[in-house]
């Protein structure tokens, strides 16, 4: 088969921290995947920070990488596909950055869970051949746009694909948060924190805190309290067309996390404002892929049953 994707960005870390043997193994995997893509008629590029990181760490990668290195912006402008090799965290990071360009992403799992990097590394070639030829399922995921507002001015902004989390300080007690949805006041809540999760993020921190699973096609968020003081304070499913505002009313050393990959410190009176982004992340899955298959596999449903 001939690939319908002519220009493919290979995204993932060439070198892991730790022993040299582990780093060499990771480099070898990336080189093997790159060679496979070339055999399918693709021109392969790598993300520029990946190469720079490798070049800065002794001689684990040749001084002249085999593939041209592009910035994220250049990948968005020049590539037809992003092939992400790593765990869900790697996919979250690049997914946020490439969403505005509309480039589809395929994930090869080298992490622990793999909810959104769902192709097993040991079977990637057989899975990718038909996908590169155009046989795949397409899956669009919502993205949050969040900002921290202080004294009427935005002091921090970020995208989030999984969740926005307002947390208490590591050594402090509960925080008090004033929550509004749309133009409506919801409640003042005392808890260890509060999670606003997308359907994608409903299988992450929100699930651990007792939240429900949301199918990716559901146009909503889930609002999940973390260890609330009032036991009747339960998770709430909200329409994603509404803006959510969380104001810090009380508590020390609180912070706002965005996909657990960027963080902003909060002061009393700060507001975390979350709305639906105009952009969506495009995932490609093997033909026949089902969200429910993913849940069964990753959450170990039906184990021990018939």
For residues 90-118, one letter each, b for 16 or more C-beta atoms within 10 angstroms of the residue's C-beta and e for the rest, the string is: bbbbbbbbbbebebbbbbbbbeebbbbbb
Q: How far apart are CA 55 and CA 81, in angstroms?
A: 25
- Cα 192 to Cα 195: distance, rounded to the nearest angstrom: 10
Residue in the block written with tokens 């559901």: 218
- Give catalytic status of residue 278 as yes or no: no
Q: Where do we find the tokens 């892929």?
A: 289
Q: Which of 27, 88, 259, 270 is catalytic?
A: 88
Contact by Cβ (8 Å): 36, 73: no
Residue 74 in tokens = 């250049």
CB burial string 216-237: b at 16+ within 10 A, e below: bebebbbbbbbebeeeebebbe
Name the nearest CA neighbour of 155 among 147, 143, 163: 147
What amino acid positions are annotated as catalytic residues?
88
């Amino acid at each position: 088969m001939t690939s319908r994707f002519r220009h493919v960005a290979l995204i993932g870390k060439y070198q892991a921290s730790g022993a040299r043997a582990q780093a060499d193994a990771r480099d070898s995997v990336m080189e093997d995947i790159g060679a496979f893509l070339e055999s399918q008629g693709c021109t392969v590029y790598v993300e520029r920070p990946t190469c720079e990181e490798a070049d800065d760490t002794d001689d684990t990668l040749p001084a002249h990488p085999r593939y041209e290195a592009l910035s994220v912006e250049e990948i968005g402008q020049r590539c037809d596909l992003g092939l992400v090799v790593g765990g869900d965290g790697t996919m979250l990071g690049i997914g946020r950055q490439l969403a505005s360009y509309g480039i589809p992403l395929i994930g090869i799992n080298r992490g622990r869970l793999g909810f959104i990097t769902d192709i097993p590394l040991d079977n990637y070639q057989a899975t990718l051949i038909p996908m590169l030829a155009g046989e795949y399922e397409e899956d669009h995921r919502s993205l949050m746009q969040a900002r921290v507002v202080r004294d009427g001015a935005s002091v921090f902004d970020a995208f989030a694909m999984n969740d926005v989390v307002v947390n208490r300080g590591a050594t402090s007690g509960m925080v008090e948060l004033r929550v509004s949805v749309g133009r409506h006041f919801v409640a003042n809540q005392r808890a260890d924190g509060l999670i606003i999760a997308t359907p994608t993020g409903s299988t992450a921190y929100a699930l651990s805190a007792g939240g429900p699973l949301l199918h990716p096609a559901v146009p909503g968020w889930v609002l999940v309290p973390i260890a609330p003081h009032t036991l009747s304070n339960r998770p709430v499913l909200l329409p994603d067309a509404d803006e959510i505002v969380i104001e810090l009313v009380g508590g020390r050393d609180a912070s706002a996390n965005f996909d657990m990959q960027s963080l902003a410190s909060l002061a009393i009176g700060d507001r975390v404002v979350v709305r639906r982004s105009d952009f969506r992340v495009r995932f490609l899955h093997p033909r026949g892929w089902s969200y429910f298959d993913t849940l069964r596999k990753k959450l170990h449903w039906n184990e021990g049953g018939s």
